[in-house]
Amino acid sequence: MITLISDVDGTLLGDPAALNELNEYIAGHRDYFHLIYATGRDVTEMNRGIFTEGLIMPDAAILSTGSEIYTVESGAFLPDVQWESIISASWDKNKVEEAAKQVQGLMTQGKSEKLKVSYFIDPSAAEQIRCRFRKLFKEQGIKAKIIISHEKYLDIIPENCDKGKAAEFLIKKLDMSSDSSVVAGDSENDTDLFESFYHGIVVGNARHGLRLSTQNRDFYMAGTDYAAGVLEGLKYYMQRLK
Ligand SMILES: [Mg+2]
């Protein structure tokens, strides 16, 4: 039994034909796989992925960069309230938004999530913005985590949550083992997944930031891109974890 915990955009999505092939492979071994998506998407965007972008229904989903967990029952996503109560204990969204007003170079993404604040940022100012937030959070006693991906997306989420921690919680809750879990990703916001697990697939199109943080560790570096890379890695782990 393998639990595949995969990022969506840039990992599963990017090559529709390859995604079809991966889906068929998973469907053909459905009793052998648990499928979990781990993405920055919210539940509406996740549903769109399933209904219009070719994703198959997973067993569970880690959404909004780890700030939400959903399990799937009878084809519907049900929020995990236990996770919400764990991570919301130290979270004060108003304080985060107030601090953000003192940071230059942010543009709102125009969506409101309870446990995540997101902005578009100017790529050339990414590190400056990260430092400014860190300083403000320290000064104001704000407990929050800053995640920048593709140098242009900035997410601020509760301190004690990210894709990796959410996946660890979920694996435990579903009584699955991390020894047989395989993560997959393409960018910096997947780094936490690779830090929480020791089996992982870095797809061929992965960004430099993820390559840097996963180098010198025992992960599968796929030669092919997007879902083809995931399938390549999955076949490798099928053999290895037998
Ligand atoms: Mg991605």
pLDDT for residue 114: 87
The H-or-E segment that residue 5 falls in is: strand 2-6
141: CA distance to ligand 1 center in Å?
A: 30
76 & 171 share domain: yes
Amino acid at 129: I
147 & 211 share domain: no
13: CA distance to ligand 1 center in Å?
A: 9
40: CA distance to ligand 1 center in Å?
A: 8
66 & 9 share domain: yes
CA 199 to chain CA mean position, Å: 15
CA distances from 70 to 13, 42, 63, 99 (A): 20, 10, 8, 30
Q: Are 238 and 230 in contact (CB under 8 A)?
A: no
Q: Report the alpha-carbon distance of residue 200 to residue 175 in Å, rounded.
A: 20
Domain boundary among 121, 138, 158: 158
Q: Report the alpha-carbon distance of residue 236 to residue 234 in Å, rounded.
A: 5
210 & 168 share domain: yes
Q: For residue range 122-180, what is the model confidence (pLDDT) as tens digits?
A: 999 999 999 999 999 999 999 999 988 878 899 999 998 899 999 999 999 999 999 99
173 & 58 share domain: yes
CA distances from 41 to 135, 149, 150, 168 (A): 28, 13, 15, 19
12 & 81 share domain: yes
237: CA distance to ligand 1 center in Å?
A: 21
80 & 180 share domain: yes
Domain boundary among 135, 158, 181: 158
172: CA distance to ligand 1 center in Å?
A: 24
Q: How many domains does the chain have?
A: 2
231: CA distance to ligand 1 center in Å?
A: 16
185: CA distance to ligand 1 center in Å?
A: 6
Taking CB atoms within 8 Å and a gap of at least 24, the contacts of 59-62 are 59/34, 59/35, 59/174, 60/34, 60/36, 60/170, 60/174, 61/36, 61/37, 62/5, 62/36, 62/37, 62/38, 62/163, 62/166, 62/167, 62/170
Q: For residue range 58-103, what is the model confidence (pLDDT) as tens digits?
A: 999 999 999 999 999 998 999 999 999 999 999 999 999 999 999 9
79: CA distance to ligand 1 center in Å?
A: 22
8 & 82 share domain: yes
226: CA distance to ligand 1 center in Å?
A: 10
Find the domain containing 125 and state its range: 91-158
103 & 223 share domain: no
Q: Which CATH number covers residue 131?
A: 3.90.1070.10
165 & 148 share domain: no
105 & 51 share domain: no
pTM: 0.91
Q: For residue range 224-240, what is the model confidence (pLDDT) as tens digits?
A: 999 999 999 999 999 99
Domain boundary among 114, 132, 158: 158
DSSP state of 133: H
61: CA distance to ligand 1 center in Å?
A: 14
Q: Is the pLDDT of residue 112 over 80?
A: no
